[in-house]
């Protein structure tokens, strides 16, 4: 059965590739702007001399970011698992780390850091949340009987942690690392694209964009996909070797919460305030530590002054509000569209697993292919209107939502499905009566995952194609050296993502 499934998946992938080749050869899409796979491979071979230096630089930045991000994440995860109050206190920071849109952060990093630092930081930010969550969950799920044994023999808190909890958490942490590894690669490439280094796949992409040669752009995307895929597969293999088992891609939709242990009202209010304040304190501290001059590096206080107190505050507010009015409605529509697409896919994966196993490789490419390389093609097919924004938003939102929903659907108890079947219900009735209602809780989880990504998708579309809203304001502000606005847009987009997530 498994072999048959694998074969079907391979066959569907081959059919898709063949279709792509024919469409590309005949120039059917966008007047030939979609190159056939054979052209992409030939071009890769011709460019083979260029790649080693770029791949090496991207690997250096992503490995450094991966290591730093994960060390911090595991340490934080252990701390949070041992101390629920700490987890509650850092909740604001954790959500911000999860929700912050990389394209708003990349310019900020380029402003305040130098050399490899922006690349490493963006890569580390991409892994922190995934690994931290996996660590907290892994430790929380440790076998309590084994903990009792260690305690009964007089083991200290530290011994319990070391002998039982941490060991028990290893599978979960490894699963986290697997999902985190491609994030590190993508973060590094994004920072390379903007940051003005000499080497790196992102730099190569930027230089190649101006040449109007789609086969080169797809080749770079393919290599990026390959690195991300290999890093994922590497950790999958490692966990299989270590643990003898492997799990499917899983994502944690929820930021772990420390259980509220009641306590007096003033203490809870104090904790809530501290949770909200901490991200701002961290922001302020990082600016002070970086030693970047006040003109370019703005603290939370500076941004507040810029937006509310300075003589130019009124103009700045008007610009920001106008941009928000353009960005927010389409973000909601995009979120709904992304969820609907993910939901349809999840249902389809239940009805026709073969179709999905053929579709998954394509879906994975859409997740690792740098969007900036695809934009010209998308613009040619879809124009620069709402449909383009929606498609970009769907493409960045559907994948995590789909994985969450598919996980939910897979957990529907078989006995619940068997009941309608036994009464002769059709597949569709079964789906309607059992599967869809059972997946609703996961739909809510998926919604939380989707909102920050929808904002990211819309900002990317605005930046690259439509020239409206927050994404455009961010870029135009750079042309005016309007540092206050650059920071304001970044801060507002992070705050919005956090608020939506809540």
Partner 1 sequence: MLNRRTFLGTAAAGIAASSLPFRAHAATPLTMQAAWINDAEFAGYFLAMDQGYYTEAGLNLEYLSGGPDVIPESTIIAGRADLALTTPDTTIKAIVEQGAPFKIIGAQYQKNPIGIVSLAKNPINTPQDLIGKTLAVPPVNVISVEAMLKMNGIEPGQVNIVPYAYDPTPLVKGEIDASLDFTTNVPFTIQQAGEEATSFLLYDFGYTIYNDTVVVTEQVLAEKRDLLVAWLRASRKGWEENLADPSVWPPKFADTYFKGTGRSIENELYFNAAQKPLMESPEGYFALTEDGIEKCLSALGEVGIVGNTDMFDTSLLAEV
Does residue 332 belong to the site contacting partner 1 (CB under 8 A)?
Answer: no
On the 0-12 / 13-18 / 19+ scale of CB atoms within 10 A, 34 is: buried
Does residue 19 belong to the site contacting partner 1 (CB under 8 A)?
Answer: no
Does residue 481 belong to the site contacting partner 1 (CB under 8 A)?
Answer: yes
Does residue 107 belong to the site contacting partner 1 (CB under 8 A)?
Answer: yes
Binders of partner 1 in range 113-172 (CB under 8 A): 114
Residue closer to partner 1 by CB (options 70, 466) is 466
Residue closer to partner 1 by CB (options 171, 195) is 195
Helix axes 469-479, 483-501, angle to 10 degrees: 160
For the chain, the straight-line distance linking the first and the last C-alpha, in angstroms and rounded, comes to 43
Distance (Å, rounded) from C-alpha 272 to C-alpha 85?
Answer: 11
* Interface stretch with partner 1, choices 5-13, 192-200, 320-328, 417-425 (CB under 8 A): 192-200
Distance (Å, rounded) from C-alpha 352 to C-alpha 345?
Answer: 10
Does residue 475 belong to the site contacting partner 1 (CB under 8 A)?
Answer: yes
Distance (Å, rounded) from C-alpha 109 to C-alpha 118?
Answer: 5
Distance (Å, rounded) from C-alpha 172 to C-alpha 333?
Answer: 34
Does residue 313 belong to the site contacting partner 1 (CB under 8 A)?
Answer: no
Does residue 30 belong to the site contacting partner 1 (CB under 8 A)?
Answer: yes
Does residue 198 belong to the site contacting partner 1 (CB under 8 A)?
Answer: yes
Does residue 311 belong to the site contacting partner 1 (CB under 8 A)?
Answer: no
Nearest CA-CA partner of 61 in 124, 16, 149, 1: 124
From the CB of residue 331, how many other CB atoms can be counted at a distance below 10 Å? 26
Does residue 106 belong to the site contacting partner 1 (CB under 8 A)?
Answer: yes
* Interface stretch with partner 1, choices 70-78, 145-153, 157-165, 200-208 (CB under 8 A): 200-208
Does residue 445 belong to the site contacting partner 1 (CB under 8 A)?
Answer: no
Does residue 195 belong to the site contacting partner 1 (CB under 8 A)?
Answer: yes
Q: Please report, for residues 38, 40, 140, the alpha-carbon distance to residue 209 in angstroms, rounded to integers and kept in the order given.
A: 20, 15, 47
Cα dihedral across residues 293, 299, 302, 303: positive or negative: positive
Asked if 252 and 134 touch (Cβ cutoff 8 Å), the reply is yes
* Interface stretch with partner 1, choices 202-210, 332-340, 406-414, 446-454 (CB under 8 A): 202-210
Q: For partner 1, which residue of 42, 379, 419, 436 counts as binding (CB under 8 A)? A: 379
Does residue 271 belong to the site contacting partner 1 (CB under 8 A)?
Answer: no
Q: For partner 1, which residue of 17, 29, 282, 292 counts as binding (CB under 8 A)? A: 292
Distance (Å, rounded) from C-alpha 89 to C-alpha 86?
Answer: 5
From the CB of residue 252, how many other CB atoms can be counted at a distance below 10 Å? 21
Which residues of this protein are in contact with partner 1, per CB under 8 A?
A: 30-31, 33, 49-50, 53-54, 106-107, 110-112, 114, 193-199, 203-212, 214, 216-217, 292-293, 295-296, 372, 375-377, 379-380, 383-384, 462-467, 472, 475-476, 478-481, 483
């Amino acid at each position: 059965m498994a072999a048959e499934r694998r074969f079907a998946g391979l066959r569907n992938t081959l059919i898709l590739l063949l279709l792509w080749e024919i469409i590309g050869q005949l120039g059917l899409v966008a007047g030939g702007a979609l190159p056939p796979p054979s052209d992409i491979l030939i071009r890769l071979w011709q460019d083979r001399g260029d790649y080693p230096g770029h791949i090496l630089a991207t690997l250096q930045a992503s490995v450094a970011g991966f290591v730093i991000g994960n060390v911090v994440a595991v340490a934080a995860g252990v701390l949070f698992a041992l101390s629920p109050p700490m987890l509650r206190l850092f909740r604001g920071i954790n959500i911000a780390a999860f929700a912050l849109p990389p394209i708003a952060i990349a310019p900020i990093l380029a402003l305040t850091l130098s050399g490899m630092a922006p690349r490493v930081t963006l890569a580390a930010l991409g892994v922190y949340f995934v690994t931290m969550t996996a660590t907290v969950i892994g430790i929380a799920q440790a076998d309590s009987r084994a903990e009792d044994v260690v305690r009964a023999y007089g083991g200290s808190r530290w011994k319990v942690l070391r002998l039982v909890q941490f060991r028990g958490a290893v599978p979960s942490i490894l699963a986290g690392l697997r999902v985190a590894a491609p994030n590190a690669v993508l973060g590094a490439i994004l920072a390379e694209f903007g940051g003005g280094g000499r080497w790196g796949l992102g730099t190569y992409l930027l230089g190649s964009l101006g040449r109007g040669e789609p086969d080169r752009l797809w080749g770079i995307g393919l290599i990026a996909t390959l690195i991300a895929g290999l890093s994922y597969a590497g950790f999958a293999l490692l966990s299989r070797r270590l643990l003898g088992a492997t799990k499917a891609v899983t994502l944690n939709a929820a930021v772990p919460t420390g259980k509220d242990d009641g306590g007096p009202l003033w203490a809870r209010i104090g904790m809530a305030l501290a949770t909200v304040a901490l991200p701002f304190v961290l922001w302020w501290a990082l600016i002070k530590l970086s030693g970047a001059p006040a003109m370019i590096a703005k603290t939370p206080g500076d941004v507040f002054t810029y937006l509310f107190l300075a003589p130019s505050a009124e103009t700045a507010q008007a610009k920001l509000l106008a941009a928000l009015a353009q960005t927010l409605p389409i973000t909601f529509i995009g979120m709904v569209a992304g969820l609907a697409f993910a939901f349809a896919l999840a249902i389809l994966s239940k009805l026709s697993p073969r179709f999905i196993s053929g579709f998954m490789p394509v879906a994975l490419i859409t997740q690792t292919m740098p969007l900036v390389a695809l934009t010209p093609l998308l613009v040619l097919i879809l124009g620069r209107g709402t449909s383009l924004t929606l498609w970009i938003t769907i493409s960045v939102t559907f994948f995590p939502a789909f994985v969450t929903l598919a996980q939910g659907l897979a957990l529907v108890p078989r006995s619940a499905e068997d009941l309608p079947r036994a009464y002769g219900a059709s597949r569709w009735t079964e789906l309607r009566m059992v599967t869809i209602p059972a997946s609703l809780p996961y739909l809510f989880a998926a919604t939380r995952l989707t909102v920050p990504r929808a904002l990211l998708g819309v900002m990317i579309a605005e930046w690259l194609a439509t020239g409206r809203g927050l994404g455009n304001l961010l870029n135009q502000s750079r042309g005016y050296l309007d540092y206050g606005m650059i920071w304001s847009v970044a801060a507002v987009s992070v705050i919005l993502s956090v608020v939506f997530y809540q």
